[in-house]
Each structure stands twice: as structure tokens, then as C-alpha cells.
Amino acid sequence: MSTVSGKRVALRPRRETAPLSRGAVLGLLGLSALYFLFPLWWLVVSASKPFGEQFSGTGLWFDGFGLFDNIARLSSQDGGIFWRWMLNSVLYCGVGALVGTALSALTGYALAKYDFPGRGALFGTILAAVLVPKVLFTLPLYLMFSGVHLIDNPLAVLLPSVVSPFGVYLARVFAAQTVPDEVLESGRLDGAGEFRIFRSIGLRMMLPALVTIFLFQLVEIWNNYLLPSMVLGDDRLQPVTVGLVGWNASHVAVPPPLVVIGSLVSVIPLVIAFLALQRFWRAGMTAGALK
Amino acid sequence: MTHLADPVRASAHRGTDGTSPPGRSRRPSTRTTPRARRLRPLLFCAPFIVLFAGMYLAPIAYAAVSSLFALHRTGLGLTAPTARFDPLSNYTQALQDDAFTSSLVRVALFGVVQVPVMLGIALLLALLFDAKSARGRGFFRLSSFLPYAIPGVSAALVWSFMYSSQSSPINRLLEPLGAAVPFFDEDLALWSVANIVTWSWAGYNAIIIYSALQSIPSEVLEAARMDGASAIRIAWSIKIPAVRGALVLTTVFSIIGSAQLFNEPTVLQPVSGGSISSTFTPIMSAQSAVAAGNHHYAAAQSVLLAVAVGVVSFAFFKLTERKGQA
């Protein structure tokens, strides 16, 4: 892009960089940033106010400092269950995304690198599954899990989480792009078994792509609300999203300011992961756009 | 999709075939029979296939079968209701159930309005990110994408504070003007929900469209500029047609997203003062059937919703396909 713009300036100076259009572009972008950041700004400001002051004033500027006290109160509410929820979320997301990524990598690699009976049908089914709303599976899954007594068992959240048709799709695209057949071939000539080749060559070459798949699954599992809210009635097993909504719906039992503070604390890990690993998101979304 | 990936494979194969000595097969494994060799890749896929069957195919079958049984209560209602095979009962009940049909209509209205508005914003944002005169694009891209990192439920919680009469900073700002937005008004509640969904996903879609914009060859844009086309003309005649594929894709995913509408209205429900009912969306309606102990009825509602989504997505694909050929 930059080389193009350099050339353009040389050929035809200042055409659409007129002050008016530049002002309009920046004005619109500024408005969008205001819209997107406004609720998050409110959340940070409110959570930092002294306890009980969360809903006073416009909530758009700092007023006293009580963040640490607020976090202490959050930690002691209901015997410190908030941190238990956070831990549950981290475990469900970590384990679910890790296992899910491994399954996606194996399947995507096989789809991209081997010809086998039923390959087309398998890939077609996976693509169709990408297009079916996942929430639709939740109710039947709940009924199935009730039938086999998996309710209030972390497996009821983990098992559906590790199956990601979109992850398989991404892994297939990435494997086709990044793992050259010649390299696999030379591994075979050296007498390595197919799984060994996958582990030591395929997996290594796909690694950056696998980080992307891992992140997408992480967000999806952290976002999931309906499934855990149905299959986990025991609040000591619930992830933080389900716990916080429960607090919010309880009205008086839990003071609303705690929901504000809990919301802030619960989004921090994802925002950090997101900011730190930006380039991996970009890669996955570009692949998504190419579909 | 296959076309995208396959040139890579094809060229790699050509390379191999060109360089390996003649007579050496591509997979010179020694001990196994050809048949075993051909089936071995299935071992790679086996764990996924088993779980996929259990977590995707089995629920579909389960829901479809379950929806064909209807609960029958005895006259006095003293014994537990029994399920009897009665294939049409749940479906006729669902289609006559005002709460369920109006939830379908509500979500359809939501999709018809929210999806174009959100994607319009996303397209505009993508074009702005791509504009030569934009400064600080990195910051603006990031700020629009940040809501994607906030879980839907958390976003809805935060917005519920934006809307609630006790805390709304928006209404506090409007107070001196004597104005207030009744976010949970009967007529406005659906659009308050739509705003949360738009906030969460507009930036995500903008980045997808922006990625597609990046793939337009710079010579094409250059030629248009040399011909004296204005920035707006270039956007309209070159850039927007070029991202058509991305727009179709984001539209289909957004339609699917609308059909799943659940998290946001569920979070807002307790603070909405009644304007968001427990059957506000089809999924909420099905879930309340589960809560009421009628799994079979919930299954029928799920099947109807799935069919509706499938028909709409398919029709949309067909429609855009025909337009593309014309």
C-alpha cells in the first residue's frame, strides 16, 4: 500500500487527501472509536470508583479510588466463588481449545495432505456444519447428557467444545498452504512413519496457524453461555459468564456494583490475550474472508 | 475453497513428480498393503469423526426423533405425563403457539434490519480503514475489533448498565436537555438488543471486509485514479464489487447469528421491566419449554428454527449466485 501511495503522490499530487475529505474520514473514524470504546471506558471508570458509587454521576470520569477495595469485596462475596468461576473458565477454555486444536490439526492435515475414501464427503459435512447455528445443538445435547447422567459434569461442557468444524476448515487451508509435499516426501524416504512425519514436520510448520485456531476456539468457549448454563446447575462448576449472569439476575442478593467489577475482571484476560496476539487473529480472519 | 487450497498442492505435486526418479511411487511405504495405506489417513480423522458424530450428528437425530413424540397427560394430571408417538402434534402446537411464532417474526425483523445496518457500518469502516487519508488506522482498527474480545454475555451486562434507568450514562448526559432514551420500551427493546449485537460484531466484520480490500491489485486502483475517478467513485465501482464475496459470507454468518439470538436478551431480561419476555427469541422459547419439562416440544421448536435458518441461508446463497451471473 505504501509504495502505491508514494507513486500516486508523485504522479498526481493531493487529490483525495484534500483537507475536507481527510476531515470527514477522521471524523467518522473518531465517531466509531467513541462508540466502540464508550461502554468499556464506563466499565473501567465505574469499577475504579469507591464501592457503592458505581451508579452515581455520569460514570464517565474517575471519582475517588476504590478499585482494590472493590476487588477485595468481589473476592469475598459468596465465599470467593468468583475466582473459582474464573479458574473454571480458564480450565474449560484452556483444555477445550487445546484438545480442539489438536483434533482440528490432525483432521485438517489429513484432509489436505492425503487422498482417502470419503474425503470429499467428510469435508462437505464439516463445511455444512460450519453453517449450522451451534446454539441449535445445545438443547438436544442437554437432553442427551441428561439421558446419560452427564449433567453437572465438566465433560458436558468440554466434549462439545472440542469439536470445531471451523477449526478443521482453517487447519485444512493452512496445511495446504504451509506444508509442502516435498518435505513430507523426503520424510517418507527417510523411513519415518506417517504419524511421526505429521508430528515432527507437519505440526511444526502449521504451528503459527494452530495458534490462530487455538485463539478462535478459546474465545468461542469463553463466550459460550447457553450450554454451560443448562448442563451445569452446580454453581461451583460454572464458568464466570454463567456465574455473573446469575448474580445479575439475583437483584438484591448480590449488590449490582459487584457485577460491574466482576465484568471488568472477567474480560481482562481475553483483552490481554487479544492485544498480545493480534497478528494471529488477523491471519485467521483473512483465511475466513477467502472462503 | 478447494480451489484456493489446491493450486498449492497441485504445484507441489508437480515439483515432486519432476524431481523424483521414475518408478518411485509417491508413498514408498514398504510393509503395508495399498488398501491399508489408503485407509490410514482415516486414523488421523478418527477422533474428530467420533466426537463430531456424537456432538453434532447425534443431537440432530435425537432432536428430530424426540420432536415426533408428544406428551400426553392423564385427565386428572395425577400421574407423570407419558410420551406417545404423535409426529405432527408438537409441530402443529408450535405453529399455533403465538409466543413461538411471534419470536420467529421478531428475530426475522431483527435480521432484516440489524444485519444490513451492521454490515453497512462494517463496510463503511473497512473503506475508511483503507482510505489513503486515514491517520492512525491501527488504533481505529483495534478499537473497532476490541468488542469481539468481550464475551457476548459480558458485553450484554455492560450494556445493561448503559441502558438501565438507575445507571445509564447516556441518559445522565441527556438529562440537562430534558431528554431520555427509554431503552426498555416495548418498541425499543429489540433495537436495544440489536445495538449490543452490532457493537460486538461490526468491527469483526469490518476487519474481514478490510482483508478482502487488501487483495485488490494496486494496478487496478492506480489505473482508476489515472483516469480521474474520485475516491468515492473508486469505492463504489471497484472496491465494493471486489469485496462482494466477503459481504456474502459475512451476511450468511450474520443471519445465522441472528437466528441464535439468546445471550443478549437473556441478560437484559431481568432488568427490562417485562418488555423482554422469556420467549423473546425462538431459542429462549425452546429453552423455556425445556424448563417447563416438555423436551419434545422444545425439540420441535429447534427443528423448525433449524429448517427456517437453512432455507433463508440457502435462498440467500442462490440469490447472490444468480445476481453474480447476470
User: Which residue, among B36, B9, B15, has the nearest Cα to A193 in the 3D structure?
Assistant: B36
pLDDT at residue B6, rounded to an integer = 38
- B-chain CB neighbours of A162 within 8 Å are 51
Closest CA–CA distance from residue B86 to any residue of chain A (Å): 19
Across residues A10-25, what is the average pLDDT? 61
What gap in Å lies between CA B285 and CA B277, rounded to an integer? 9
CA distance A79 to chain B (A): 22
In chain A, the domains with their CATH numbers are 15-65 (no CATH), 75-290 (1.10.3720.10)
Q: Which of B1, B9, B47, B53 is nearest to A106 (CA)?
A: B47
Cα-Cα-Cα-Cα torsion B248, B253, B258, B259, nearest 10 degrees, comes to 110
- What CATH number has the domain bearing residue B143? 1.10.3720.10
* Residue B258 or residue B178, greater confidence: B258
* Chain B residues 225-244 within an 8 A CB cutoff of chain A: 225-226, 230-231
Within a domain: B183: yes
Q: Given CB atoms, is B131 within the 8 Å cutoff of chain A?
A: yes
Q: What is the pLDDT of residues B261-281, one digit of tens each?
A: 999 999 999 888 888 998 999
pLDDT at B16 over 50: no
What is the number of structural domains in chain B? 1
Share of chain B above pLDDT 90, in %: 29
Please give the average per-residue pLDDT across A229-234, as a whole number. Answer: 90
pTM over 0.90? The answer is: no
Mean pLDDT score, B241-258: 88
Please report the pLDDT score of residue B10 as a whole number.
39
- A286: confidence class by pLDDT, cuts 50, 70, 90: low
What's residue B22's pLDDT? 43
Full residue range of the structural domain in which residue B139 is found? 89-325
B19 pLDDT tier (thresholds 50, 70, 90): very low
Contact B41/A137, CB-based, under 8 Å? no
Residue B28 forms part of a structural domain: no
Q: In this structure, are residues B156 and B196 in contact, taking their beta carbons and an 8 Å threshold?
A: yes
Residue A5 has pLDDT above 90, yes or no: no
Those residues with Cβ within 8 angstroms of residue A96's Cβ, 6 or more apart along the chain or in another chain: A157, A158, A161, A162, A217, A221
Nearest residue of chain B to residue A29 (CA atoms): B140
| C-alpha span between A218 and B132 (Å, rounded) | 35
Which cell goes with A254?
448480590
Chain A closest-CA separation from residue B268 CA (Å): 9
| B20 in contact with chain A, both atoms CB, cutoff 8 A | yes
Task: Please tell me which of the candidates A4, A21, A159 has its beta carbon nearest to residue B133.
Answer: A21
Kindly tell me if the per-residue pLDDT of A178 is higher than 70: yes
pLDDT tier, B101 (very low <50, low <70, confident <90, very high otherwise): very high
Q: pLDDT of A21-46, one tens digit each?
A: 788 888 999 999 999 999 999 999 88
For helices B282-291 and B98-130, the axis angle rounded to 10 degrees is: 140
In the prediction, which pLDDT does A254 show? 83
B66, part of any domain: no
Among A25, A37, A285, select the one facing B133 at the smallest CB separation: A25
CA B130, chain centre distance (Å): 25
Say whether pLDDT at B237 is over 50: yes
Long-range contacts (CB closer than 8 Å, 24 or more residues apart) made by B229-235: B230/A16, B231/A16, B231/A21, B231/B131, B231/B132, B235/B127
Interfacial B residues in 165-224 facing A (CB < 8 Å): 166-167, 169, 172-173, 199, 203-204, 207-209, 211-212, 214, 218, 221-222
Search chain B and give the residue with CA nearest A45: B169
Residue A265: closest C-alpha in chain B: B154
Give the minimum alpha-carbon distance from B208 to chain A in angstroms, rounded to a whole number.
6
Q: Do A35 and B160 touch (CB under 8 A)?
A: no
- Residue B111 inside a domain? The answer is yes
Among B1, B16, B208, the residue with its CB nearest the CB of A182 is B16
Residue B82 lies in a domain: no
**pLDDT (tens digit per residue) in B277-305:** 989 999 999 989 988 888 889 989 988 98
Rounded to two decimals, the ipTM of the complex is: 0.83
Render pLDDT for B122-178 as a digit per residue (tens, 0 to 9): 999 999 998 877 678 888 988 998 898 888 899 999 999 889 877 788 888 888 887
Cα separation, B263 vs A229, in Å, equals 11
Q: Kindly list the residues from chain B whose CB atom is less than 8 angstroms away from the CB atom of residue A281.
A: 145
Distance CA A220, CA A214 (A): 10
